[in-house]
Chains A and B, each alone.
Chain A
């Protein structure tokens, strides 16, 4: 019979333990039983605040759905352990008893609520779990003002959340400055100014004496200095305490300030019991970050396997984050407590920037640092500290502003192989190199194989730098230039075209490139020019930039004929328009098929026939469908509340509106959209670049999905939007994609490579962190306003029409070169090209 390993707590660290346990193949020896108090399986608490943007807890869940159904793992949720019976080696819950051979306690911590009279009333809340956030949301729905007690990291994050919930937010801090643990007085002061500028009121040096009923609002906070503040809800964020209740009553040794004492192997005072994560204290220290918890989980698994080589020896508590859009970083010995340590400081009160270095008495090493206002300095400084790299001759250069706008970086080449790159998953530079030896060549490969950059995400720039450096070292040229004619990326060229108002390829290559151009830079330029200026593809300067599909506005097929795809917005079509398509098909003997994009494709037209066919289609009311372009394809729609008994919104009208708005927009790669009328999702919106799903209150917006070669589920971007906000966000997301993506990069791949990912995109689009919002919208509007049906324009201009001749010196195409045979009542190309000939 297998032995039993019981884990108490299915939080972040408990989950990591289970993952490592599985990897170590310990399941051959043990059954793993996990008992969790929360009703939801392990989720990413670090990104808890995203729950307010996306109320579907699924996107925060850790590991995939199948993980806990693995043979040998039992997960019991909403079943808190009430007692550990060490004498009989069993744990007890209300539902039952579980014997253990080994026990792992991963109960995390609980929010500390200061003993203020009145703290137990309704609307006095905390910020730790999904349930807490539900309670805050419910309370905020009826309120106007919200106060956070505590001005630390979490407190500020909570204040941010309150502003997002539409509340007038206040932070009340007992200490004389914000983030007293990480920042010195000057940095705290700088941060306060920045945060107040963003509309959050900060009250420092305030001790709350009592919470009583309010006059204008629900509650009133009375302070020691006789002042008071009225509010509708209070979120306590005054620190965390290790959840050690079970351990205490079971008689395990605790730390002086609480927490379960563990040794270097994460063993408690009972050798068959381990404690990991925030509930544990090592060397009298609690670690309130996820990375040390993960390390503890690995250490415990290693010890269980009998290896025990990996030990826990403390952890780096450096942190960097964006609080209400303000960069804050704190590294190592930020308070300069090391005797005789020296400091350098730089401060710019106008821009709200503060930087401090703490260096060793001999001036050689960096011991700690503080950053306010610009975290681009963080990675480099952290590496100096963690890897004890000798400082440059003038250390101040590391924090002085640089004219080129980019922070000085420590080349990744200078890092030793042991240097930790990702602390969440303990991935060193050496691990990355090894993964690359085994074949990883991209950021997504590395994420998949090493898990680097898949935790808090803070290390992704660093991981990318190591990747690029190592690729280059291996002789793989990581040239980011577009092609041999331009030493710029697409993004840089886009910027140049926009700023210098470049209108032709010739101008661009003359000013910024060399040589004659090729099939990479020409279509890319055509696409950028079209995104920005939106001129007709047949303008003489643009004609040579595209090959046959874009030039002839039709899709070339394998036998040299073309297919014709009229736009059918939202897939809605009147019977008489259907009949006219049928008539055209019949007249020109075209093979006709319903496409996967809810419209109709007519195959087998010759070049000469294209204008004739389009004349008839346009007369019948059709427009070009851009099936040939890197542009908006279709907006797929379900019938929605027009007919469907479950529909909650008019998905048809929305789809047609979106299709008509974005038709003709040229994008780095094709863009597809869909709108579903309810969560049954008949339009498959979650597989599209832009997906919209109706809710009772409006629309949920999904972005960056993909079908095709490598399907990607779209990310939920924002919820319950009204029509206007929906369109505004789509404008911004799409234009930002147009501005920044690589050539032929679908939105899915763009998102995978976007530094900061979904979170960053939300900041740019929803919070307008780059101040680009209006520009993106007005660019989109100008594309919308300059829309023309390319086919209509081409037909009106005889010089454009002249191009649609198979031969300049003959009036007819030669039918004989296009062999057709009949199949199921339609004409198709003769199947005469064998596989070998193709290869």
Chain B
């Protein structure tokens, strides 16, 4: 159990904060997956990270979508076929079955950091094995 806790708390520095673009996205590679990171300087939660891969088009584009707000809820619109994804949960607003992976993201010492999710999915794997 102890070793697993150390794995989940592993944060990877991605880039310095001056790379962020206000009210828009940048894209990072994390263990072979591409992750879109959005910065909303005026919102309550300022940083969000979601999968960059658009499940509708199969193209890596989510990080280039427009940030939208509706009734206090923030989402990003895919530039290809314009579906919206909740920034908090990754839920597609147009289709119940579709959800983008969300990644923990933070600013630490002037660096944007993503949590090492490979470790996280290992953890999930181990946990499910445990329950078997």
Asked whether any CB of chain B lies closer than 8 Å to the CB of A817, the reply is yes
A518 and B59 contact, Cβ closer than 8 Å, known pairs A556-B79, A809-B29, A810-B29? no
> Which residues of chain A in 512-534 are interfacial with respect to chain B, using CB atoms and an 8 Å cutoff?
515-519, 522-523
Closest to B35 in A: A807
Cross-chain contact B57 with A544 (CB below 8 angstroms): no
Task: Give chain B residues whose Cβ lies under 8 Å from the Cβ of A810.
Answer: 28-29
In the complex, the answer to whether A516 meets B69 with C-beta atoms within 8 Å is: yes
Contact with B along A40-75 (1 / 0, CB 8 A): 000000000000000000000000000000000000
CB-CB under 8 A from A807, the residues of chain B are 27-29, 34
A838 to B59, CA, bound (A): 12
What is the interface size of chain B, counting residues whose CB is below 8 A from a CB of the partner? 37
Cβ-defined contact, B43 with A516, below 8 A: yes
B28 near A809 (CB under 8 angstroms)? yes
Determine which of B58, B67, B68 lies in contact with A837 in the assembled complex, contact meaning CB atoms within 8 Å. Answer: B58
Q: Which of A588-625 contact B (CB under 8 A)?
A: none
Partner of B61, one of A517, A519, A560, A814: A560
- A544-600, CB < 8 A from B: 544-549, 551-552, 556, 558-560
State which of B57, B65, B82 has its C-beta within 8 Å of the C-beta of A560.
B57
Render B46-86 as a binary contact track against A, CB cut-off 8 A, 1 for contact. Answer: 00000000101111110011111111101001011010100
Determine if B21 and A544 form an interchain contact, defined as CB atoms under 8 angstroms apart: yes
Cβ contacts under 8 Å, B14 to chain A? 808-809
**Is A806 part of the binding interface, using a Cβ–Cβ cutoff of 8 Å?**
yes
Q: How many residues of A contact B (CB 8 A)?
A: 36
A546 to B24, CA, bound (A): 9
Interface set, chain B 99-114, CB cutoff 8 A to A: none
- The total of Cβ contacts below 8 Å across the A-B interface reads 102
Task: List which A780-839 residues lie within 8 A (CB) of chain B.
Answer: 802-803, 806-810, 814, 817, 832-833, 837-838
A residues in contact with B42, CB < 8 Å: 516
Is chain A's binding surface mostly helix, strand, loop or mixed? Answer: loop
B60 touches A833 (CB 8 A): no
Q: Check A515–B69 contact: CB distance below 8 A.
A: yes
- Closest chain B residue to A544, Cβ basis: B23
Quick check: is A540 within 8 A (CB to CB) of the other chain?
A: yes
Contact between B60 and A560, CB atoms less than 8 A apart: yes
Tell me if A808 and B27 are in contact (CB < 8 A). yes
In the complex, are the beta carbons of B79 and A548 less than 8 A apart?
yes
Task: Answer whether A556 and B61 are a contact pair too, CB < 8 Å, given A519-B82, A540-B22, A807-B34.
Answer: yes
- A548, B61: Cβ atoms under 8 Å? yes
Interface residues of B in 8-42 (CB under 8 A from A): 14-15, 19, 21-24, 26-29, 34, 40, 42
A543-B24, A556-B80, A808-B27 known; A519+B59 contact, CB < 8 A? no
Q: Which of B60, B64, B69 contacts A551 (CB 8 A)?
A: B64
Q: Which residues of A contact B58 (CB under 8 A)?
A: 559, 832-833, 837
Chain B residues near A519 (CB-CB < 8 A): 65-66, 68, 77, 82, 84
- Please name all residues of chain A whose beta carbon is closer than 8 Å to the beta carbon of B34 when the two chains form the complex: 807, 814, 817
A327 at interface by CB-CB < 8 Å: no
Minimal beta-carbon separation of B101 from chain A (angstroms): 16
For the A-B complex with A544-B66, A560-B61, A833-B57 known, give 10 more contacts whose Cβ atoms are closer than 8 Å. A484-B71, A523-B66, A544-B22, A559-B59, A807-B28, A808-B15, A808-B27, A810-B28, A810-B29, A817-B60
List 8 tightest A-B contacts by C-beta distance, closest first: A516-B69, A544-B23, A560-B59, A548-B64, A518-B68, A547-B79, A548-B79, A544-B24
A-B contact pairs, 5 of them (CB 8 A): A516-B42, A516-B68, A543-B21, A803-B21, A809-B29
